Amino acid sequence: MAIVNEYRPVEIFFGEGAINKAGEVGRRFGFKSLIVTGRRSTKESGALDKLIHSLNTHGIGCIVFDEITPNPTDKQINKGSDIAIREKVDFIVGIGGGSALDAAKAISIVSSNEGYAWDYVRYPEGSRLIPSLNRPVITIPTTAGTGSEVNRFSVLTNPLTKEKMVISHSLNYPKVALVDPELTYTMSPELTAITGFDALIHALESLTNKRENFIAEEYSIKAVKLIAEWLPIAYEEPENKKARRYMSYATMLAGIAIDHLGVALIHAMEHPVSGHYPNVAHAQGLSVLSPYVTVFNYKGNPEKYALFAKLMGEEEKPYRAVDALVKFIERFKLPKTLKELGVEKEKLERLTEDVYMCARNSFTVNPVEVGMEEVFELYTRAYEGNI
Ligand SMILES: [Fe+2]
């Protein structure tokens, strides 16, 4: 059996009201913080006010950088980093969905080292990054899907080249995650479903790809189980405490699982889609692509796909994994074709090339060997809705 490891340099506080620990935790790192968030939702929900109140109560000053959009760009990271340097902030707090958390972590890396955000995508371990100078990051998720609050990834888009790539480095871990399920109560049913679907695909791809780590696989299995049971309830009853709590927990587990095991072809094929079409949410792309890729993949790891099907409440047969996904997509009214997302047919070739250029890591661990022709065919099927 392969040697496996479990390494989690992230302190996690989990539970309703965890956001109120921000001030107490922040004091470990200094007296001046940069809050990284999006333009609207954390203001409208009151989460940002709660955070500022907690920090201020502990004598910590805040600068708010609220320019992070879905599919955050390298330019936004460079701007945030300039502010962190200019204002000499001691630490960074990311609050919001995956984009805000990814951005906060990337701003820490860039503002603590030389260069620009794009220098750090695919940056190898053991490089010139200086750990002792990294500004600590606190992550506070307000959705349940990304898992960014506990792992080393930041996904960035370069709007000039349309490339969407990942910073994946052990120095990109946040120091503390405050996972407060209460912050997810204000998510609409649509946002609940779409973000929950991202977590489900993290669990599916980490469980079924070629990498092995039996510890992390347990996290994937638990995450699938919880999402199958509780996402429908969170969708129907936004203030169901138990459902929200289990979804935040499942997301975190799936986020740890991909930290060890990575993802596979569904993510590899999705990133070019939202890279070229930034209005498409990451999980919308996943929703469209997942059944097609699973039809292609299940024979590569029949045992794990059968397990996934079973955990989703289907018959324990590998191909039932496809049925489970299709049913989930129907139930939550998620998108089904690339056409529906506004993708143009003539772009499919370029998207195929970008899978090779930008997402090779996820691509090479796919359960089934895959080449350019197959990727193009899968995009074409997903465009037309031809499963
Ligand atoms: Fe994802």
Please report, for the domain that includes residue 252, its CATH number.
1.20.1090.10
Residues 289 and 310 in one domain: yes
Domain count, the chain: 2
* Domain CATH number, residue 175: 3.40.50.1970
In a domain? residue 323: yes
Taking residues 5-10, report their average pLDDT. Answer: 89
**Could you read off the pLDDT of 211-240 as tens digits, one per residue?**
999 999 999 999 999 999 999 999 999 989
Residue 115: band (very low, low, confident or very high) from pLDDT cuts 50, 70, 90: confident
- pLDDT at residue 253, as a whole number: 98
Residue 3: band (very low, low, confident or very high) from pLDDT cuts 50, 70, 90: confident
The long-range contacts involving 313-319, CB below 8 angstroms and separated by at least 24 positions, are: 313/228, 319/295
In a domain? residue 5: no
Return phi, psi of residue 191, to 5°: -70, -35
Nearest-CA neighbor of 139 among 112, 107, 168, 100? 100
- CA 268 / ligand 1 centre spacing (Å): 10
CA distances from 127 to 105, 211, 359 (A): 17, 24, 21
- CA 255 / ligand 1 centre spacing (Å): 9
- CA 305 / ligand 1 centre spacing (Å): 19
Residues 158 and 248 in one domain: no
- How far, in Å, CA of 54 to CA of 33, rounded? 12
List the single range of 163-172, 210-219, 330-339, 342-351 with lowest mean pLDDT. Answer: 163-172
Residues 240 and 258 in one domain: yes
Residues 52 and 106 in one domain: yes
Residues 103 and 147 in one domain: yes
In a domain? residue 68: yes
Residues 26 and 145 in one domain: yes
Q: Is the pLDDT of residue 130 over 80?
A: no
- CA 6 / ligand 1 centre spacing (Å): 21
Return phi, psi of residue 139, to 5°: -110, 135
Taking residues 157-179, report their average pLDDT. Answer: 93
At residue 285, the 3 state secondary structure works out as helix
In a domain? residue 6: no
Residue 152: band (very low, low, confident or very high) from pLDDT cuts 50, 70, 90: very high
- CA 327 / ligand 1 centre spacing (Å): 20
- How far, in Å, CA of 163 to CA of 324, rounded? 31
Domain boundary among 137, 169, 184: 184
In a domain? residue 233: yes
% residues pLDDT > 90 (the chain): 88
- CA 168 / ligand 1 centre spacing (Å): 14
Residue 300: band (very low, low, confident or very high) from pLDDT cuts 50, 70, 90: very high
Residues 108 and 245 in one domain: no
- CA 200 / ligand 1 centre spacing (Å): 9
Q: Is the pLDDT of residue 102 over 90?
A: yes
Residues 45 and 30 in one domain: yes
List the single range of 115-129, 155-169, 371-385 with lowest mean pLDDT. Answer: 115-129
Domain boundary among 184, 208, 229: 184
Residues 43 and 166 in one domain: yes
Q: Is the pLDDT of residue 361 over 80?
A: no
Residue 125: band (very low, low, confident or very high) from pLDDT cuts 50, 70, 90: low
Residues 176 and 205 in one domain: no
- CA 238 / ligand 1 centre spacing (Å): 22
In a domain? residue 141: yes
Instruction: Name the pairing type of β-strands 163-168 and 11-14.
Output: unpaired
- CA 286 / ligand 1 centre spacing (Å): 8
Residues 111 and 242 in one domain: no
- CA 55 / ligand 1 centre spacing (Å): 30
- CA 356 / ligand 1 centre spacing (Å): 18
- How far, in Å, CA of 170 to CA of 321, rounded? 33
Residues 132 and 270 in one domain: no
In a domain? residue 15: yes
Report residue 159 as tokens. Answer: 């709007």
pTM (whole model) above 0.85 = yes
- The whole-chain average pLDDT of the chain stands at 95
Domain boundary among 184, 212, 227: 184
Taking residues 160-167, report their average pLDDT. Answer: 92
CA distances from 135 to 30, 97, 130, 155 (A): 10, 21, 11, 19
Which domain does 210 fall in, by range? Answer: 189-384
Q: Is the pLDDT of residue 256 over 90?
A: yes
List the single range of 13-22, 201-210, 318-327, 364-373 with lowest mean pLDDT. Answer: 364-373
- pLDDT at residue 170, as a whole number: 86
Residue 124: band (very low, low, confident or very high) from pLDDT cuts 50, 70, 90: low
**Could you read off the pLDDT of 169-217 as tens digits, one per residue?**
888 999 999 999 999 999 999 999 999 999 999 999 999 999 999 999 9
Return phi, psi of residue 185, to 5°: -60, -30
At residue 129, the 3 state secondary structure works out as coil
Burial of 163 (0-12, 13-18, 19+ CB in 10 A): buried
- CA 266 / ligand 1 centre spacing (Å): 9
Residue 373: band (very low, low, confident or very high) from pLDDT cuts 50, 70, 90: very high
In a domain? residue 1: no
- CA 274 / ligand 1 centre spacing (Å): 11
Residue tagged 């998207």 (tokens): 351
- CA 32 / ligand 1 centre spacing (Å): 31
- CA 205 / ligand 1 centre spacing (Å): 10
